[in-house]
Amino acid sequence: MEVLAMEKISKTILKQVIIPRKPESYKGTYGKTLIIAGSTHFGGAAILATSATVHAGAGLVTVATTPEKFTAINTNIPEAMTIDYHNKKELLAAILNNNVIAIGPGLGTSSVAVGLVKAVLNNTKTDQTVILDASALTIIAEEKIPLQTTAHIIMTPHQGEWQRLSQLAIPDQTEFNNFEKIQGLNPDAVLILKKHHSEIYYQDMSFQIDAGNPGMATGGMGDTLTGIMAGFISQFGYSLATIQAALLIHSVVGDKLSKKQYVVLPSKIIEKLPKYMAELSTQTK
């Protein structure tokens, strides 16, 4: 039985991470992000993840997806560029050229999707961050793909996806057991276990957010977190503080919205992000 409660992430982390932008900066200062997402039946996941990345402040965002979704993505998020993930040459160039790569939202588990996950894990390096979410995690579990990249790895499963990856039934997903399973997957990987009051496992430390509400239990909410995480790491750099701030802001904005809205739409969280980030970055204390 676990006796000690996990450390809660304080809201002060938001002001610490979300600092004012430097006047002489340009889009390149805020990082390049590649989102590999979407498939015939899950176009919305790609749109939400991409839109969240752009609204969170990533400098340049590219989406690798199926061309049938280009129009929808370009219409919803004209700021993002699109490439066809079936084009191996373009995909490899994009994997090599981006600082942050998020893969999985709405990707499905087709053989093409399996190839995409392998391409990311085989071609990323130390200075990059790879965020593995949704279908990418299911593929890694089903195909037993080793997490062998030297890039930073952040896994963002919900409890069902973590069960697939770790073989731990939900009641057995304790702090102790989760740490043990991370060791077996890749000791350097960060786990964000999504649930009511999501948890972060980072090296030998664990944290929990004291925010989030059941109004957020709606499709696309995790895809949105993935985009926020990608956008934050892209512009603020990879660190524990950045990861904590991204996870927390998603639920803090969700809590603000839930005061007046029974169900919290992911697209509404995305819409609110730039204003809330401006407020946080200009507050002195």
Ligand X SMILES: NC(=O)C1=CN([C@@H]2O[C@H](COP(=O)(O)OP(=O)(O)OC[C@H]3O[C@@H](n4cnc5c(N)ncnc54)[C@H](O)[C@@H]3O)[C@@H](O)[C@H]2O)[C@@H](O)CC1
Ligand Y SMILES: Nc1ncnc2c1ncn2[C@@H]1O[C@H](COP(=O)(O)OP(=O)(O)O)[C@@H](O)[C@H]1O
Of 159-198, binders to ligand Y (CB under 6 A) are 194-196, 198
Site for ligand X in 36-55 (CB under 6 A): 42-45
Q: Which does 44 bind (CB under 5 to 8 A by kind): Mg ion, ligand X, ligand Y, none?
A: ligand X
Judged by CB under 6 A, the residue of 212, 220, 231, 254 near ligand X is: 220
Binds 231, which of Mg ion, ligand Y, ligand X, none (CB < 5 to 8 A, cut-off by type)? none
- Contacting range for Mg ion; rule: CB under 5 A; set: 32-40, 46-54, 58-66, 222-230: 222-230
Distance CA 252, CA 281 (A): 15
Cβ atoms of 156 and 105 within 8 Å: the answer is: no
216 binds, among ligand X, ligand Y, Mg ion, none (CB under 5 to 8 A by kind): ligand Y
Place of tokens 């176009």: 43
User: What value, to the nearest 5°, has the Cα angle with vertex 225 and ends 280 and 176?
Assistant: 105
Strands, E assignment, 58-180 = 60-65, 81-84, 100-103, 129-132, 152-155
223 lies in the binding site for ligand Y (CB under 6 A): yes
What is the side-by-side strand order in the sheet with 199-202? Answer: 7-8, 205-208, 199-202, 190-193, 152-155, 129-132, 100-103, 32-36, 60-65, 81-84
User: Which residue in 36, 83, 101, 134 binds Mg ion (CB under 5 A)?
Assistant: 134
Nearer to Mg ion, 221 or 277 (CB): 221
Partners of 8 in beta bridges? 208
For helices 221-236 and 43-56, angle between their N-to-C axes, nearest 10 degrees:
30
Under the criterion CB under 6 A, does residue 221 sit at the interface with ligand Y? yes
Token pair, residue 183, equals 């060791």
Burial label, 282 (beta-carbon count in 10 A; 0-12, 13-18, 19+): exposed
**Amino acid, single-letter form, for residue 185:** L
- 56 annotated to bind ligand: no
Q: 43, 70 in Cβ contact below 8 A?
A: no
Q: Residue 65 binds which one of ligand Y, Mg ion, ligand X, none, with CB within 5 to 8 A depending on kind?
A: none
CB of 284 vs ligand X, minimal distance in Å: 38
Closest residue to ligand X using C-beta atoms: 160
> Is 104 known to sit in a ligand binding site?
no
CB of 81 to Mg ion, least distance (A): 24
* Residue stretches of the annotated binding site for AMP: 194-198, 222
Q: List contacts with ligand Y (CB under 6 A).
A: 134, 158, 194-196, 198, 212-214, 216-217, 219-223, 225
